[in-house]
Structures are given as C-alpha cells and as structure tokens.
Structure 1
Amino acid sequence: MRDFLVLVSVGAHILLGVGAFPLQHLFSFPPVEKEAYRQSDLADFLDPRLNGGRFIDYTWIEEDVGEPLNVIISAQSDPFVLTDHGFHAYSKSIGFSEECLGLHYGAIHKANLGDGEGMKDEHILSRQYYFPVWGTCWESFAGGNHFRAWKQNGTNANTGAWFIGASREEDSSKNHMIVPDGYNLGRDWLVDRATSVSRWKGMWWQADVEWREDLLKAGNHSINHGIAQDGRVAILTVRRL
C-alpha cells in the first residue's frame, strides 16, 4: 500500500509540473518544415501597378506609348501551359504559331510586369496560323491576329502568369498597322478560341474567362497608333480536358 501511495504522489508531482515544463523536453518531435508557396498558389497574377508596372507595353520607350496587355493566362491554369514549351503548344491549339521562318520583323516591345525585372523584352511573338507550313508567313503578308507575351516571373512576383498583348493588324502593304478597333478585335478573337475546346497533338484544353474593367483605362491615352480600346482585360484560366 505504501509503495502505491508513493507512486501516486510521484505521478501527481509530474502532472502538476507539466504546465511549467515544455512538452518538447519530454518528447522528441521531428521539425515541421513550412511548405514553400509560390505566389501563383495564392493569386491569379500580381497587378503590375502595385510595383510600378502597367497594363500597357512599351512600343517606343522614348514616346511612352505602347499596346494594351489585354489578356492574362492566370497562374491557376494548367501547369504545363505556364511553361514555355507548354505555352507554345497551347498557342498552336488556339490558332497561333511562331513567326514566319523564325524571323522577327518589327520593333521588340518591352513591358514592366511589376515583378522586379523592370522593362523586359517580349518573351514570345505569335501570329495567326492560317494553314500548315507557311501559315504564319501568310499572316505576315496578308495581316491578321497576333500577340506578344511576357511571363511574370521576377523575384518580386513569381506568379508564372502570362501577360498578353493581342491585336489585329493590316497587311504588309499598310506596314502592318493595327486595324481600327484592332486591340479589341484581336483580344476577342483570342478569347473566343480559348473558351472553345482546343487541341494540339493529343492534348485538349478549354479556358474559363473573367472580364476585368478595373485594370486598364479605356481610351487611347498612351496607346500606340492612337487607337482606342475599351479597357477590358480577359483573365483566362486554362484547364486540361
């Protein structure tokens, strides 16, 4: 009986002392590592204006004019589409491809996406792909839809989202000028293709669209060629089917 009472007394002292004695000193727990989150896990994209960027690219830096960034491929899209190779494949599924013979014509546009990399050159220029082999060469000659794209992947905003400036241009006889209402028309053509089911080499996609009117001011202020646009930006979330 005495031995039992001694054990009870010792146990009571231990229990009373637990509150003042951290459990980690009594038991060994493995350290729990924080899961690393990219910003793309938390947002569709980062508004460039928060870090000194804008939703207009820089066609001519000295004149501070450019073309509207009127489409965004959300960071919530299929991860493959957020890669360079995947984005090229997806672009082909909606009717765009690389420039004719891989040759670039015209000015290199820059954009500031507020991701810490300042003004950076266009990452991709794709043109409407009319038909196999010479498809984009025909666009270069006859005009049509095209887009420039930049990836938001700097140290201040590594979302992986693609920012796109889409437009429709005249034929070569008119020096590829943007057609009247060409920024809206080019954007809408791309969005229409994206929200329909598309495929390329066995991969199928379809995008959901959210229209935003609070990112880009409507009108032609600072817009290249002085062509007005409606200020709407399409946020596309591309799903693999």
Structure 2
Amino acid sequence: MRLIDFFVLCVVVQGAVGIGIGWPWRTSDTQQRLGNEPPSGWHDPADGGGRMLDYTTIHYGEPLNVIISGNSHPSVLTHEGLHKYAKSIGFSEECLGLHIGDLHGADLGDGEGRKDEQFLARQHYFPIWGTCWESLAGGNHFRAWQQKDTKAWFLAVSKEKYLGDHHQIIDDGYNIGRDYLVSRALRRGARIEWREDLLEPGNEGINHGIAQD
C-alpha cells in the first residue's frame, strides 16, 4: 500500500511541512524520503494489536492511507485544528452537520481498542453548501481517527459514487482519493514521504474488493 504520511507545521498551510508513503510524483514536488524506519510522531497500529484497515463491516475494511504525523504543529493535532486544515485543502464538515450512514471504527494500536471515526470530511466543491453537493454527486472524502499516544491523525481517504449508487467507492477510489488529498496538501506547502511496508498491495480484506497500492 502506498500510504501517505505528512507533517503539518501550522494550520496556516503556507507554513506546512509533511511526509508520505509510496508516491508517484518527483522528489522535487516537495517530497522527502526519510529512510526505512517510521518517523517519530506515529507508530504502526499493528505494533499495538491494531491494523491499517478500518472496520467497515465485520470482515472488510478501508485502508488508512494518509497519516498526519504527531510531529506536526500542535494546533493541527486538535479536533478544531484538523477541521481548519481540512478546509484549507478543499474539504469540510458534512452537509448541514448531518451524518447519514454507518460509523466506521479503527484500532490504532494505542491501547484504546476499536473506536468510531472522530471526523468525516467531504470535498467542498464551492463556498456555500459545497459538501451538500458532494453528498449528492459523490467525490472525495475522508474519515479520521487520532492515535492517542502520538496525537497523529490516521485518515481513510477515498472517492465515492453519487447518492443513487449508495456512495459506493469508485474503481481505484482508494488510490484516487489519497492522491487527490495529498496533491492539495502539496500545493499548500506540505512535504510528504511514502512507505510501502504497512499493508500489502491488492484487495485482500478491502471493502468492495477494490485494490489499493
């Protein structure tokens, strides 16, 4: 799995720095390889009995394919700060603050076991009711959970179909959603690093049977 992990040094994203995992862009696109060991600021959930998939159903999950490191600026490691950062890269809270559908769980190996998503953000197409359009027409969205012992945010990012298709994930939607979010973060000055050692590529255990790399 190409997992993106990045540092955000401040909520004003012009001052952001970041890291990521398995990425197709050039190193000049403000990426930085930091070596084979995970950078401090997060740890592999599997080390504490968790996993890099959320719990979408009893048997299947969606990949946690973006990490915002706990070494980021303290303000982005708060719930309010994550909401502000999401807005700065083109995402926002759900339409009218309403959630329709099941909550996903995740176990980040931090001693808290499986916990429900703490934030769901949808692509904000335009300034007024932009996420309402995403709820109808489909688009990019992410769920977020915070790793208690590192304060890192683990995101499950994907692109979904329109409401009439019950928000099913589009073909290659996990990779497409991840790439969209990180491209937005890069434009705002994030630096990313990629890792490919946290989840095997393919569709084993993945919701909808959609492969990820």
Partner of 1:141: 136
Which amino acid in the other structure matches residue 160 of structure 2?
A: E
SS at match of 1:185: helix
Partner of 2:173: 182
Q: What count of residue pairs does the alignment treat as equivalent?
A: 175
Is the CA contact 2:41–2:151 (under 8 Å) kept in the aligned structure 1?
no
**Quick one: percent identity of the two aligned structures?**
63
* Partner deviation per Cα, 1:24-55 (whole Å, 9 max, x = no partner): xxxxxxxxxxxxxxxxxx81201110111000
Q: Residue deviations 1:192-241, cap 9 Å, x none?
A: 000112xxxxxxxx3110010001111101100000000xxxxxxxxxxx
Q: Which structure ranks higher in relative contact order (CA pairs < 8 Å, sequence separation ≥ 6)?
A: 2
> Which of 50, 55, 59 is residue 58 of structure 1 equivalent to?
55
> Hey, what does 2:154 align to over in structure 1?
163
Kindly report the root-mean-square deviation, in angstroms, between the aligned alpha carbons of the 2 structures.
Answer: 0.9
**CA deviation digits over 1:67-124, x for unaligned, max 9?**
0000000111111111111110000000000000111011100000000000000000
Query: Which residues in structure 2 correspond to 1:120-139 (within 5 Å)?
Result: 120-139=115-134
- Stretches of structure 2 that go unaligned for 5 or more consecutive residues are 1-38
Report which of the two structures shows the higher radius of gyration computed on alpha carbons: 1
Q: Which amino acid aligns with 1:181?
A: D
Q: Flag the structure with higher strand content.
A: 1
CA distance in 1, matches of 2:43, 2:123: 28
1:87 is matched by which residue type in structure 2? L
* 2:208 is equivalent to residue 225 of structure 1: yes
Residue 174 of structure 1 and its aligned partner are, at CA, apart by 0.9
TM-score (norm 2): 0.81
Which contiguous aligned blocks of 4+ residues in structure 1 show a shift greater than 4 angstroms?
A: none
TM normalised by structure 1 equals: 0.71
